[in-house]
Amino acid sequence: MALKLYGVPFSTCTSRVLGALYEKGLDFELVPVNLSVGEHKQPEFLAKNPFGVIPVLEDEDVNFFESRAVNHYVAHKYKDQGTDLIRHKNIKEAGLVGVWVEVESQTFNPAISPIIYQLYVKPLHGETPDHSVVEAAVEKLAKVLDVYEARLATSKYLAGDFFSLADLNHFPYTNYLMKTPHASVVNSRPHVKAWWEAISSRPALKKVADGMILSV
């Protein structure tokens, strides 16, 4: 099999790449990495990703890490197959996809990831969530989503009236958020809520959600 994805389906970052692979209708093999025994910190894995984190995409004899970079690679390599995630025929649309990919990376992710870390990851390690960190993060996320609400009032999806990598990259963390009481931060914003309903009902992303089995 040409494409091998090293990771686990319940991981947010692995799920980000699964989303792209499913949207493109690509054949690939998911190779599990045993996080609980520290497989990702062993020399064999570090040779693939020296930062010792999942996922890694192996394409024949090359490999790539950083889920957003992997998605960019997949979206470009298979640009004529499946969903057009990067608007490669229109450089200005592509530019706007790039903007909202960065907004997710630099503004949305720092606000949402502490919530998911505290509520999902810490319990996996037998640790107690720090709810004051969660509350502070929810407040920060609310302000970010106010900007999204205004944007999505004039645009069906983030980069324009087309689904793109920008929307896809938001899926995994938001999916886990929506299973917590803090889903209200999305549900109380009508355009953000509608956007979430549109993207999460996509068959490819429903398939990703099936593997995201962690619960709070």
Partner 1 sequence: MENSGVGGVYQYFWGYASESIQLACKYAYPTATAGCTLNEKGIEFEIVPVDLLKGEQKNPEFLKLQPFGVTPVIKEGDYTLYESRAIIRYYAEKYKSQGTDLLGKTLEEKGLVEQWLEVEAQNYNAPAYDLVVNLLFYPKLGIPVNADLVKESEEKLAKVLDVYEERLSKSKYLAGDFFSLADLSHLPFNHYLVNAIGKAYLIKDRKHVSAWWDDISNRPAWKKVLEL
Task: Judge residue 47's burial from the number of C-beta atoms within 10 Å of its C-beta, 0-12 exposed, 13-18 middle, 19 or more buried.
Answer: exposed
For partner 1, how many residues bind (rule: CB under 8 A)?
30
Among 22, 45, 64, 196, binds partner 1 (CB under 8 A): 64
The string over 130-168, giving b where at least 16 C-beta atoms fall within 10 Å of a residue's C-beta and e elsewhere, is eeeebeebbebbbebbeebbebbeebebbbbebbbbbbb
Among 3, 26, 31, 94, binds partner 1 (CB under 8 A): 94
Q: Given the complex with partner 1, which of 15 and 209 has the nearer CB atom?
A: 15
Does 65 contact partner 1 by CB under 8 A?
yes
Which stretch in 16-24, 66-74, 127-135, 201-209 sits in contact with partner 1 by CB under 8 A? 66-74
Does 105 contact partner 1 by CB under 8 A?
yes
Q: Is the peptide bond before 55 cis (omega within 30 degrees of 0)?
A: yes
Does 206 contact partner 1 by CB under 8 A?
no
Among 44, 92, 132, 161, binds partner 1 (CB under 8 A): 92
The residue behind tokens 């896809």 is 168
Per-residue binder mask for partner 1 (CB under 8 A), 6-25, x = binder: --------------------
Tell me how far apart the alpha carbons of residues 25 and 47 are, in angstroms, rounded to a whole number: 28
Tell me how far apart the alpha carbons of residues 92 and 64 are, in angstroms, rounded to a whole number: 27
Beta strands 29-31 and 56-59 are: unpaired
For partner 1, the binding residues (CB under 8 A) are 50-51, 62, 64-66, 68-70, 72-73, 76-77, 91-92, 94-96, 98-99, 101-103, 105-107, 144, 147, 150-151
